[in-house]
Each structure stands twice: as C-alpha cells, then as structure tokens.
Chains A and B, each alone.
Chain A
C-alpha cells in the first residue's frame, strides 16, 4: 500500500473534520475520494503529506510517517494540486514552475529548463509561460498547477477537485492525463464531488461523509454488494408482449413501463436465452441492453444506506442488508 490511513481523527476547535477515517491506497491505482462538501476529503489529503497532523490514529505513506522527519522525503515524492491553484499571481508561469523545481530539488540548469518545458507542454501552457499568472484564466491556472504538480515526476499525485473551473474539453484532457499517469506506475488520489468525473477512472472509491469513511472499495465489487444480480433493459414494439418474460426460468424480477421492461436475472447468460425465446414467439424487439451500474447509482445507494444507518442507529452493513431485503 502506498497510503494507509488508520482511525485518523482531526478536529479544529469544536469541529470534528475527520472522525476515525480508514483509507488504503494500493500502488499504481486511482483512488477517488467522493463525498459532499465538508466531508473531510481535503483534510485527508493534507494528512497524507503531513501538512496537517492527526489528533489520533496513524498515517503511513510509502511506509513512512509524514509527521516525523520522514515527511520531507514523503512530500518530495508527492505532487499536489489543491482545490485552489495556489499560484503566485505576481510571478510568471515560468517563475512559478521554477520555484517548485528548486523546492523539489530538481537540478538547476538544463534539467530544470527541460522539465519545465515538458510539463508545460503536457498541459498546453507552453506559450503562456512568460506571462504573469495574475492574467491567466481559471483554466490556465489549473493547468499550470497541474504542470507544477507533475514537474518533479511524483510517485503519488494528490488532486483536490482538479477540474473545478475547467471547460469540458480541458477537464477531459486532465482526466485523460490522470488515467495515463497510473499506466506509468504512479499512484493517484483524487477528491471530487463530481461523480461523472470519477466514472470509469476510479480503481477504488472512498465515500466520505461528515468526516467518516462510509465505504472504501473497488466500484465493481461494491456494485455487486448492492446489485448482486445482473439486470437488463428490454424494449419491444408492443410492451405487453414482454410480460411473457415473467414465466421464463431464471428471472428474479420483472417491471414494465410502457414498452420498456427492466428484468433482474440469476446470471448474465440468461439474457441471450430470453432474446431467443422472445424471437421464437415472434415478439419484435427494439433493443436489449444489460444495465451497467454507474458510479452515480452506486454513490447514491451507499449514501442511502448511510442515511438509513444513521436514522435507525444501526451499522452501515446492517443498513445495506436492510435495503437489499427491501428490494
């Protein structure tokens, strides 16, 4: 594990920002911290670099404790993009990168110049490097902050809402870059409250709420917890024809609205059997689509379980089972 956070709590006066969170991040993965504003995502990121120390619990990054003198080594291996770009407006883009290069110990001279050019080109800001950052657009600032974060080729990239303020095109290119980074062996931890952003990108998700981790796991595995059986959407020319499906073997549930039916099956292979059977009965099908659980579906299901657990004072696992039973 690159990052291991165990039972970490942190308060600011009377406000408990983190309440015994647990997060594990494997090497080379993209872990997305999901949660509403104030869930504790940014505080968790700050704990990882040692910018903040925990009141209780342990944090280990690359096996080291960031609160000790090892923090310097940890920070030198991390690249951070904060929720606000935290750039020096009076300096040029190049000077901002130069500052980071020197603090992160990139050798001066040609190496620095080369790395600055390379990082700037990666985020398409090479033409604006000599301009004062104060005159940059929000998107340019974010791209400069990203270039600064990858300048020293960090092993762990911590991105706090990296696409906020970006146009859709730039946001897509940032997410593409994040995906590429893990293929090079780097580990990424990304905070977001935009579920679409994390869709297809997250190897692991950590759902946080009010300073607690509700769930930490692989999206597909979590989907199986909430939707243990595969589902599909079948659309026919005449909706009533689809009602025959209820009599088919392996169909767990069937719901139809108009000419669209939702079916829950014992296993995925049964779907082709259903199509064959419907065709044999000369039922004209318009489309058959296996349902894929989106991160949004998963997130809201997790949140629902959490809310239920809070309202009836039971454990999160018990609430999850209860929701499953109600279905």
Chain B
C-alpha cells in the first residue's frame, strides 16, 4: 500500500460506514439484549451476589478457608491485599484477581461477535454488493467496520468496569479499608493493555470475517483468538506475567505497536470482490 493511497482515505466515509453499522447494531435487539444480560451477569450479578455473601457471613470457617487458599497467589499479588479481616482480604482478592479478569471476556465477546459478522455478514445478506459498487475504498470500508466493532467493546469496558468498580467498592470497600478498585494494575489494564489487545484480536477477526464463507464460521474461529486475551488479563491482574513495575507499560506499548501494524496490514484482507456474493475463489 503506498503512502499516497493512505492519504486518500476519506474519514467522512469511514465514519459513515462505522455509524451505519452501529445504527444497525442498536436496532438489533436480538444481539444487544443477550450481550447486555451477559455483561450484567459478569460485571454486576455474579460479583454482587458472591461479594455480598462473603462480607455478610463474616468470620466463619468458609471465609477463613478461602482466605487461606489465597496464599497460593504469588507474592506480588498477595502484597497488594487490603483489609485486616479475612472477609476483607477475601473480598479484595476475589474482586481484583478472580472476578475482574473473568469480566474481560464480556467486551471481548461483544467486539469479536460484531467483528466476526461484519464483512461476511454483508456478503451473506447481499448488502456487500452495494458497498462493492460504492465509491468507498476497501480501506475505508475496513476502517469503518473496525471502528464499529471496537466501539461496543470499548464502551463495555468503560461502562462495565465503571459499574463493577462502584459495586465492589460499595460492598467490599468498608471491609478493605476504603475504595480500592481499580487498582493501579487494573487502571493499566483497562486503559493501556486491554485496548491494543482488543484491537489485535479484532484485526485477526476481521481478516477471518473477510475470508470465511459464513458468519457462524467466523464466530467460531474468532473464539480461539479471544482466549489468549483472557490469559493475559489473569496474568496482568496478578502480576504473574509482567510483574508490577514498568513492564506492563512496556508490554502495553508493544501491544499498541503490534495492534497498529496488525490493523494496517489487515486492510489488505478486505477487497471489493470479498463483499460480493460470488462463487468461491474470489
């Protein structure tokens, strides 16, 4: 791709494609309703019930035993524990090291679900024909689709973790010596590490979406792509993988570079012919 070609990208068209895709998504109750339920379960319902139960039942044996099992976590993680009581320490540990990493699956699921369907979906519905004949370049279409896939994921990260923070701080905060979430590790995770990894995942998902023959196939394949990110979320939150120093910042920076490179090269995966409902081999 030449520098000249890049400079010709018309961002108004990119935003038009993105806005229209998001508008369609907003109309798709059958998509966002289950996703909202999924988000509510992971960010609010399950953590709410679990943490409320732990802080409510007090210093019984069960909590003490859970507290003891937390000793298996690495020293870097254990050193972050807050709270003097077992229930405070347990609540803190579950909030930071168990429930929050699991919740990462939600934005990832939403973004990959949108991304997986975005190009192959146009082809399946026959609407790709309109885009293929339109003046929008393949790069503009790709970028528009990418933005439309990233936005729901990032909104979920902000809204979901916002609600989660409020919830855990209100329930566990009093037992853990005050508001504690997001921790420094999680601020890094949410604002610096998660976004580029989400972008990397999506660049792969969009390539898949442009190549496979059905939305179902794209979604199945994209499931594999999202697994490493869940692993990274666990590792980062406990400090096992990157430690608690400057390394996460470096890893995040590297992820941004790889993310941009991956998105840039991913532009080639979308061509006009791949938007058409034509025989294989296009």
Contacts and interface: CB of A to CB of B under 8 A. Distances in A.
A15 interface: yes
A90 B134 contact: no
Interface residues of B, number: 33
A71 to B, nearest CB: 8
Contacts of A52: 272-273, 276, 278, 282
B276 to A, nearest CB: 6
Contacts of A51: 129, 132-133, 272-273, 275-276
Interface stretch (A73-81, A123-131, A195-203, A273-281): A73-81
A12 B280 contact: yes
B135 A88 contact: no
A80 B8 contact: no
B20 A88 contact: yes
Nearest to A105: B135
B281 to A, nearest CB: 4
A105 B10 CA distance: 10
B20 A75 contact: no
Interface string A25-54: 000000000000000000000100111110
B67 interface: no
A236 interface: no
A284 interface: no
A49 B279 contact: no
Q: Which residue, of A46, A76, A99, has the highest number of chain B Cβ atoms within 10 A? A: A99
Given A91-B23, A102-B13, A82 B135 contact: no
Contacts of B13: 102-103
A87 B20 CA distance: 12
Contacts of B214: none
Contact of A12 (B5, B24, B27, B281): B281
B105 interface: no
A85 to B, nearest CB: 8
Nearest to B137: A72
A84 B134 contact: no
Interface stretch (B120-128, B146-154, B242-250): B120-128
B269 interface: no
Interface residues of A, number: 37
Interface string B98-128: 0000000000000000000000000001111
Contact of B278 (A12, A86, A89, A132): A12
Given A13-B280, A52-B273, A86 B127 contact: yes
Interface string A93-137: 001000110111100000000000000000000000000100000
A73 to B, nearest CB: 8
A99 B127 CA distance: 12
B126 A82 contact: yes
B8 A69 contact: yes
Given A12-B282, A95-B23, A75 B135 contact: yes
B28 interface: yes
B130 interface: yes
A87 B127 contact: yes
A49 B27 CA distance: 31
Provide the main secondary structure of the chain A interface: mixed
B109 to A, nearest CB: 21
Contacts of B135: 72-73, 75-76, 103-105
Contacts of B279: 12-13, 15, 17
B33 to A, nearest CB: 14
A84 B129 contact: yes
B128 A86 contact: yes
Contacts of B276: 46, 51-52
Contacts of A82: 126, 129-130, 133
A202 B17 CA distance: 36
B133 A49 contact: yes
B16 interface: yes
Q: Of residues A12, A15, A103, A148, which shows the largest number of chain B Cβ atoms within 10 Å of its Cβ?
A: A103
Contact of B127 (A11, A72, A78, A88): A88
A216 B272 CA distance: 28
B136 interface: yes
B4 to A, nearest CB: 8
A104 B135 CA distance: 6
Nearest to B17: A103
B133 A78 contact: yes
A98 to B, nearest CB: 8
Contacts of A132: 27
B137 A86 contact: no
B12 interface: yes
A202 B128 CA distance: 29
Interface string B7-19: 0100011001100
Contacts of B27: 90-91, 132
Contact of B24 (A75, A85, A91): A91
Interface of A: 11-13, 15, 17, 46, 49-53, 69, 72-73, 75-76, 78, 80, 82, 84-91, 95, 99-100, 102-105, 132, 148, 158
22 contacts: A12-B281, A46-B132, A49-B132, A51-B132, A51-B272, A52-B272, A52-B278, A52-B282, A53-B273, A72-B137, A76-B135, A78-B133, A86-B128, A89-B125, A91-B20, A95-B20, A99-B20, A100-B130, A102-B12, A103-B13, A103-B17, A104-B135
Given A51-B275, A51-B276, 18 more contacts: A12-B280, A12-B281, A13-B279, A13-B280, A46-B132, A46-B133, A50-B272, A51-B272, A52-B282, A53-B273, A69-B8, A72-B137, A84-B126, A84-B277, A87-B130, A91-B27, A103-B134, A103-B135
